[in-house]
Amino acid sequence: MANLQVEICGVKFKNPVIAASGTFGFGREYNLLYDISVLGGVSTKGTTIEPRQGNPVPRIAEGSSVILNAVGLQNPGVEHFIKEDLPFLRKKGTVVIANVAGKTLEDYGEICARLDGLADMVELNISCPNVHAGGMALGIRPENICEVTKISKKGLSKTPLIVKLSPNVESISTNARAAEDGGADCISLINTLTGMVIDIERRKPIIANNTGGVSGAGIKPIAVRMVYEASHAVKIPVIGMGGITSGEDAIEFMMAGARAVQVGTANFSNGNAMPEIISGIDSWLDRHNIKDVNEIVNTLTLN
Amino acid sequence: MKDLLATVKSNKRIAENIYMITLTLPESVGAMHGGQFVNLSTGNGANLLRRPLGVCIADGNDLSVCYQVKGNGTKYLSTVESGRKLQVLLPLGNWFDLDGYKNVAVIGGGVGIFPLIATIRENCSEKNFYSYIGFRNAGAVCLEEELKKSKKLTITTDDGSYGIKGNAVSAYLDDFESVAADVIIACGPPVMLKVLKRKLSEAGIKIPCYVSLEERMGCGLGACLVCVCKNSDGENVRVCRDGPVFDINEVQL
């Protein structure tokens, strides 16, 4: 049994496996399947200031080794989250990362200020369409990333800020640096890639929103490459995600430079995916006689 | 609710494009009721999503569910042989709760019949079922021996190649007075449920009616908010967790 505890921005995680935002709700449902206090952390369903209804259905489709989703940030709003959902998660003794999104820059500042000192960390979703960027996501251009990070950071005096980076960009290194320059304490990546699946009989996209975010095992090589590039571009810690299904996958991301990982789509294929990934990391470390998971971070040597 | 590795006992074609797969569960998951569903892996690693399939026949640790071969996931599933292990999350969702009812009208269509069969099997010793089941044609008719556990069974086909030519909703409404049901349960294509809702309302029929809905799902347990529908107040409800069975008047079809 190796040490699995990791520390990011002063926050202690019992292991480096965190539920990815959007796949895990606020933890209540998976807690019926297993005690979610075994998890390193939970990044909550993306929360906005006002409640949102989200997109029409279908909201999900499948490709080979990937899925696409377009839920559209359905959530009960930040006040409901603070009152009804946060207390449950806090009681579980797992790190609570409040994932937040906004329509305007000001929304980000406001929601961060509201959550300061309440969640263990705040994670910015900057991949949703934003008024400030003319309907484009704030997470595409480095200047927008820097600006949204700055305004969010202003609202946070106690809680560390994670900026979740979109992969739909020109240079992930530039964008990672933009988040760091804006004052991010940590970055996480990758959010989903934008894709489309067509029902050729109807000649229409399967998802009502037409496009959706691609995730799952099939995107893992892209995610590993981006985590590697981003973690070498910044000094702040990196949380990696994208298609992690096994302990070995998590190890791969950590070798590429991630200090912890998030798991999303794998929960859909296997309800017990995260507990199994945690024990998978542990047994890999044991097999390699490594006493501490932190020892594998950023140990990749290039050919 | 458990996530288990079940062993495939059999997997056989029961009608045109329709298969029944019987799984042996490694442990008990407690009672499973008609209307509840399971989230079953297709067995193909490239299909990351499991398929939500209504409980059809639950017999000890053996569970049979049925599926229509539609895309490459169900196509692969239809090739899975006995002895293979498949991951399955179960039991999920609510069910047709018939407590306090005696005479039950059952309206089903196509692949919607399977949760209704589970409900009939579960309750037929104490309750009277009057079943109106619609199929596309004779080739689609399946599990008739199970449906016959109803006190009265009427089968309709769109083309008249089996049973009565017509549809299940009209066939029931024709018999409405003589059946005198105190509750209606229904599952079938969205268009069937829509017509049912409209016709019940037009005829001023007030007896309770419960419908089981279908939607593309992610997690199957209520976390991901993928499979929503609108309730009568226009708010989202989760088909997988708040349903799949809803009062027909409390959900938008």
DSSP letter for each residue of A217-278:
GGGHHHHHHHHHHHHTT-SS-EEEESS--SHHHHHHHHHTT-SEEEE-THHHH-TTHHHHHH
Predicted model pTM: 0.96
CATH number at residue B117: 3.40.50.80
Q: Give the model's pLDDT for residue A300.
A: 96
pLDDT digit string (tens) for A33-44? 999 999 999 999
Q: Does A271 touch chain B (CB under 8 A)?
A: yes
Taking residues A227-240, what's their average pLDDT?
A: 98
Q: Which of A112, A128, A146, A186 is catalytic?
A: A128
Q: Among B50, B71, B236, select the one facing A54 at the smallest CB separation.
A: B236
Other Cβ atoms less than 10 A from the Cβ of A171: the count is: 13
Q: Give the model's pLDDT for residue A98.
A: 98
Q: Is there a single domain that holds both residue B65 and residue B135?
A: no
**CA dist., res. B149 & res. B117, Å (int):** 9
Q: Among B48, B87, B229, select the one facing A65 at the smallest CB separation.
A: B48
Taking residues B105-133, what's their average pLDDT?
A: 97
Q: Which of B38, B63, B92 is the last residue of a domain?
A: B92
Q: Among B71, B89, B226, select the one facing A69 at the smallest CB separation.
A: B226
Q: Give the model's pLDDT for residue B9.
A: 98
Q: Give the model's pLDDT for residue B24.
A: 98
pLDDT digit string (tens) for A94-126? 999 999 999 999 999 999 999 999 999 999 999
pLDDT digit string (tens) for A172-182? 999 999 999 99
- The answer to whether the Cβ–Cβ distance between B224 and A268 falls below 8 Å is yes
pLDDT tier, A132 (very low <50, low <70, confident <90, very high otherwise): confident
* Neighbouring-strand partners of residue A163: A124, A187
pLDDT tier, A133 (very low <50, low <70, confident <90, very high otherwise): confident
Residue B21: name the closest of B53, B50, B44 by CA. B53
Q: What is the predicted ipTM?
A: 0.94
Distance from CA of A48 to the nearest CA of B (A): 15
Q: Is there a single domain that holds both residue B192 and residue B136?
A: yes
- The beta-strand segments (E) located in chain B are 2-15, 18-24, 37-40, 51-59, 62-68, 85-92, 103-109, 128-135, 152-157, 164-165, 183-187, 209-212, 228-230, 236-238, 245-247
Q: Which domain holds residue B247?
A: 215-253
Helices (H), chain A: 78-80, 86-91, 105-115, 142-154, 172-182, 220-231, 247-255, 266-269, 273-287
Distance from CA of A264 to the nearest CA of B (A): 10
Residue B124: name the closest of B146, B85, B150, B97 by CA. B150
Q: Give the model's pLDDT for residue B31.
A: 94
* Distance, C-alpha B200 to centroid of its chain: 21
B97 lies in a domain? no
Architecture of domain A6-54+73-197+215-296: Alpha-Beta Barrel (3.20)
Q: Quick one: which H or E segment has residue A19?
A: strand A17-19
Q: Is there a single domain that holds both residue B116 and residue B160?
A: yes
Q: Quick one: which H or E segment has residue B115?
A: helix B113-123
pLDDT tier, A301 (very low <50, low <70, confident <90, very high otherwise): very high
The contacts of residue B61 (CB under 8 Å, 6+ apart) are B24, B25, B26, B27, B28
pLDDT digit string (tens) for B75-98? 999 999 999 999 999 999 999 999
Q: What is the DSSP letter of B119?
A: H
Find chain B residues with C-beta within 8 A of A30's C-beta: 221, 223
Q: Give the model's pLDDT for residue A129.
A: 72
Q: Does A199 touch chain B (CB under 8 A)?
A: no
Q: Does A127 touch chain B (CB under 8 A)?
A: no
Q: Is there a single domain that holds both residue B80 and residue B171?
A: no
Q: Does B229 touch chain A (CB under 8 A)?
A: yes
The contacts of residue B59 (CB under 8 Å, 6+ apart) are none
pLDDT tier, A128 (very low <50, low <70, confident <90, very high otherwise): confident
The contacts of residue A202 (CB under 8 Å, 6+ apart) are none
Taking residues A140-147, what's their average pLDDT?
A: 96
Other Cβ atoms less than 10 A from the Cβ of A95: the count is: 22
**CA dist., res. A189 & res. A43, Å (int):** 13
- The answer to whether the Cβ–Cβ distance between A269 and B48 falls below 8 Å is yes
CATH number at residue B58: 2.40.30.10
What average pLDDT is seen over chain B? Answer: 97
Cα end-to-end distance, chain B, whole Å: 28
The contacts of residue A237 (CB under 8 Å, 6+ apart) are A8, A9, A185, A186, A187, A259, A260
Q: Quick one: which H or E segment has residue B169?
A: helix B168-179
pLDDT digit string (tens) for A42-59? 999 999 999 999 999 999
pLDDT of residue A137 exceeding 90: no
> Domain count of chain B?
3
pLDDT tier, A131 (very low <50, low <70, confident <90, very high otherwise): confident
pLDDT of residue A145 exceeding 80: yes
**CA dist., res. A292 & res. A294, Å (int):** 5
Residue B241: name the closest of B217, B220, B226, B224 by CA. B220
Taking residues B179-204, what's their average pLDDT?
A: 97
- The answer to whether the Cβ–Cβ distance between A32 and B221 falls below 8 Å is yes
pLDDT of residue A198 exceeding 90: yes
pLDDT tier, A136 (very low <50, low <70, confident <90, very high otherwise): confident
Q: Does A23 touch chain B (CB under 8 A)?
A: yes
B98 lies in a domain? no
What average pLDDT is seen over chain A? Answer: 96
Catalytic residue check, A128: yes
Q: B142: helix, coil or strand?
A: coil
Maximum CA extent, chain A: 55
Distance from CA of B90 to the nearest CA of A (A): 10
Among the ranges given (A137-146, A243-252, A253-262), the one the predictor scored with the smallest mean pLDDT: A137-146
Provide the residue ranges of all domains of chain A, joining segments of one domain with +.
Answer: 6-54+73-197+215-296
